[in-house]
A = this chain, B = another copy of it.
Amino acid sequence: MSLTKVNEDLVREREKCTFDVKELTHYFDGGEEITLNRRKVEEIILSYKELKDEVPEDYLSHKERYENAIRKAILVKDIRKRHNLDTPLMPEKYEVTYVNTILKGIIKDISPVYLHDTMFLVTIWGQMSPEQQAEWMPKAKDLKAIGTYAQTELGHGTFLRGLETTATYDPETEEFVLNTPTLTAYKWWPGGLGHTVNHCIVVAQLYTQGKYRGLQTFIVQIRDLETHMPLPGIHVGEIGPKFNFQTANNGFLGFKNFRIPRKNMLMRNAQVLKDGTYVKSKNDKLTYGTLVIGRVNIINDVAINLSAAAVIAVRYSAVRHQSQLKPNQPEPQILDYVTQQHKIFISIATGHAFRIVGRWLWNTMMQVLQNISEGKMEQLPELHAISCCMKAVCSQDSASSIEQCRLACGGHGFMKSSNLPLLYGLTTASITYEGENTVLMLQTARFLLKTWMQILEGDTALTPTVLYLLNFAKPTDYRWENTPQGLIKGFQAVAAGKIKTAYDSVVKYVNAGNSQQDAWNLASVQLVAASEAHCRAVLCEIFSNEIQRASSTLSPNLSKVLQQLVELYLVYWALEKRGDILLYSTISKDDIAALNKRYEELLALIRPNAVGLVDGFDLRDEVLNSTLGAHDGRVYERLFEEALKSPLNAEPVNSSFHKYTKPFMETAKL
């Protein structure tokens, strides 16, 4: 069998695709130019043979994996420098973050300098004064200062006011003295902190002139630049193995009377003067901007992970044959089983949805950040609210959809070499980091309840993402319709209904004698549900609108298929949420039966284009890293080739037989 031959089932699938796959790729990337640029960068970086592993990562020890990851991460930096492949930190237009995607493919996990490339640089960009930026940005770009972002502590995550690390200003030496007063005050989690970085952005409680001044951010050198030895007063190390992120080198950090110069406080907003006078920030909401960037990036990240899982599951399902549909016929492709289509087609639709909504949110954010920099803050609460729930819903849905793809690949999906376990691990992590999802949902709920009160008070000047609520605030003549637009209205009706229910529930608990805070807690399950419903309504509307808007520039064939994807997405979620729709809209049981039928039709409509749709994501084999998902469909050959790489397979008999098993067998003979 030739190594380059493409599996015949995949050849047939590609022949019957009804649209131009290239066109889809350009649309998905955001334009042909971006596609070409992405491919060029991929081509250059991946041409370096040293980036390939001889022994797959999963056979190595924890320490070896870290060392190999550093080797590859530095090599990629070197290649990018040599070929001038710098990407802008904050591109004005939302582009594929392709270097990160390639890097994930190369490291086969998180790079130990990932937080350097993201949070460290973004914090310098967003929170340093111009003079500080001039000093630190070049150092950071040249990796002279390798940094991370240290906020979370062993005992403190979400609740920033609870952080225990202190920075006390000493005017005599014009220094801050950093301390870790307890075990729970240790910084815990920052990526690269263990053994990789020599600098650290540290969030600490500031004290000057004997007074508490709230949280401030500092840049702290923690290791010698020449020897890399931890400086005196620094206790640093890694926190150990995780579900994934094995090479992220997440670390802990403790300070003992550790001194840094005054100028190392990040002074774009608040300042400490030489004598210790504290100058408050003019607007303490200014740092919200960087948090929003982090959340919006996650949406793109998980969309790519989910797309990769969809590619793997669909191609494998086209290659795998199983059971019999009809007597005396050959085993069909498992892609022909409707239960299989039900499991994996939604991941194709969701991959598109999140990518498109992520792009919309990025563009919205850039415009709001521009306004903020001009002092106009009014859009910030809405941006904060929508980015919170979007991050939560997109990370949660992506994780469960990836896991569904993995399970749809049966036993082979359980193999690390399928890459599905890694994709799941990376994605589920984002449920927790950059704001735990439940906490974020409750942030959005706060905004939604405020909006609802506004409506009750007769104020109709609502911000764009909640404008739809006005249609449902009073009894309307709204009637259910089984059309895409009707479904979107249905999701809005559900969101409005759930916001009202949650609001009423808080009021009821307050009226029953609970404090505002206790009432909020008692109703919190419903508050989270309201946020989720709101987010889904917005997601569905934007996905649908954006595809509609693009259809004038796309060829009719592609446009038709994308509209099928939108409808699949809407119908899938209408059926999933049928309980809520029954409760909060005028849908009938017959409508639901009709939706069920339509869903089965849509699966059949998408079936012939399934492989084309995932080919359109244009994810290279080196990014997919999957025995099941490669473009040529050589599933079984690759599985076998990977197995043969196991160091255990290098010896016919493992030493443990003679050492442990045989002696036991021999005692049995006695």
Are A184 and B636 in contact (CB-based, < 8 A)?
Answer: yes
Are A433 and B411 in contact (CB-based, < 8 A)?
Answer: yes
Give bound CA distance, A336 to B522, whole Å.
Answer: 10
A77/B664 contact (C-beta < 8 A), A228-B653, A237-B646 known: yes
Per-residue B-contact encoding for A57-95, CB less than 8 Å = 1, 0 else:
011111110110011001101100000000000000000
Q: Is A421 among interface residues, defined by CB-CB distance under 8 A?
A: yes
A655/B67 contact (C-beta < 8 A), A195-B648, A592-B583 known: yes
**Shortest distance in angstroms between A104's beta carbon and chain B's nearest beta carbon?**
18
A518/B325 contact (C-beta < 8 A), A183-B636, A195-B654 known: yes
A227: chain B residues within 8 A (beta carbon): 653
CB < 8 Å: which of B61, B158, B186, B188 contacts A323? B158
A146: chain B residues within 8 A (beta carbon): 661
Q: Is A589 among interface residues, defined by CB-CB distance under 8 A?
A: yes
Residue of B nearest to A642 (CB): B240
Q: Is A524 among interface residues, defined by CB-CB distance under 8 A?
A: yes
Give bound CA distance, A156 to B334, whole Å.
Answer: 12
Per-residue B-contact encoding for A615-653, CB less than 8 Å = 1, 0 else:
000000000000000000000110110111111110011
A668: chain B residues within 8 A (beta carbon): 142-144
Instruction: Indicate how many identical chains form the complex.
Output: 2
Per-residue B-contact encoding for A314-341, CB less than 8 Å = 1, 0 else:
0000001111111100010000111100
Residues of A contacting B: mostly: helix
A648: chain B residues within 8 A (beta carbon): 62-63, 66, 194-195, 237-238
A665: chain B residues within 8 A (beta carbon): 142-144, 225
Q: Is A157 among interface residues, defined by CB-CB distance under 8 A?
A: yes
Q: Is A239 among interface residues, defined by CB-CB distance under 8 A?
A: yes
A241/B416 contact (C-beta < 8 A), A64-B61, A74-B660, A637-B183 known: yes
A643: chain B residues within 8 A (beta carbon): 237-240, 252
Give bound CA distance, A71 to B655, whole Å.
Answer: 11
8 Å CB interface, A391-444 against B: 403, 406-407, 410-411, 413-417, 421, 428-429, 431-433, 436-438, 442
**Shortest distance in angstroms between A232's beta carbon and chain B's nearest beta carbon?**
12
Q: Is A122 among interface residues, defined by CB-CB distance under 8 A?
A: no
**Shortest distance in angstroms between A94's beta carbon and chain B's nearest beta carbon?**
28
Are B162 and A323 in contact (CB-based, < 8 A)?
Answer: yes
From A367-375, A455-463, A545-553, A574-582, the one touching the partner chain is A574-582
8 Å CB interface, A229-244 against B: 229-230, 237-243
Give bound CA distance, A518 to B437, whole Å.
Answer: 42
A320: chain B residues within 8 A (beta carbon): 155
8 Å CB interface, A146-160 against B: 146, 152, 154-159
Give bound CA distance, A659 to B74, whole Å.
Answer: 10
A662/B228 contact (C-beta < 8 A), A326-B515, A579-B577 known: yes
Q: Is A526 among interface residues, defined by CB-CB distance under 8 A?
A: yes
Are B640 and A331 in contact (CB-based, < 8 A)?
Answer: no
Most buried by B among A410, A637, A667: A410
Q: Is A605 among interface residues, defined by CB-CB distance under 8 A?
A: no
A324: chain B residues within 8 A (beta carbon): 159, 161
Most buried by B among A59, A146, A656, A669: A656
Residue of B nearest to A644 (CB): B237
Q: Is A28 among interface residues, defined by CB-CB distance under 8 A?
A: no
A64: chain B residues within 8 A (beta carbon): 61
A414: chain B residues within 8 A (beta carbon): 242-243, 245, 429, 432
Are A639 and B154 in contact (CB-based, < 8 A)?
Answer: yes
**Shortest distance in angstroms between A448's beta carbon and chain B's nearest beta carbon?**
16
Per-residue B-contact encoding for A574-604, CB less than 8 Å = 1, 0 else:
0001111111000001001000100110000
Q: Is A517 among interface residues, defined by CB-CB distance under 8 A?
A: yes
Q: Is A446 among interface residues, defined by CB-CB distance under 8 A?
A: no
Q: Is A386 among interface residues, defined by CB-CB distance under 8 A?
A: no
A592: chain B residues within 8 A (beta carbon): 583
CB < 8 Å: which of B63, B154, B228, B429 contacts A636? B154
Q: Is A342 among interface residues, defined by CB-CB distance under 8 A?
A: yes
Give bound CA distance, A252 to B643, whole Å.
Answer: 9
A596: chain B residues within 8 A (beta carbon): 526
Give bound CA distance, A503 to B406, whole Å.
Answer: 30
A656: chain B residues within 8 A (beta carbon): 66-67, 70-71, 195
Are B240 and A58 in contact (CB-based, < 8 A)?
Answer: yes
**Shortest distance in angstroms between A431's beta carbon and chain B's nearest beta carbon?**
6
Q: Is A525 among interface residues, defined by CB-CB distance under 8 A?
A: yes
Closest 10 CB pairs of A and B: A579-B579, A142-B668, A578-B579, A58-B241, A70-B656, A243-B421, A159-B323, A237-B649, A241-B416, A61-B61
Of the A-B pairs whose beta carbons lie under 8 Å apart in the complex, a sample of 21, sorted by A's number, is A59-B61, A63-B654, A67-B659, A70-B660, A74-B664, A155-B320, A157-B410, A159-B324, A162-B323, A189-B411, A195-B654, A228-B662, A240-B416, A242-B415, A243-B406, A326-B517, A337-B521, A338-B521, A407-B437, A525-B599, A579-B582
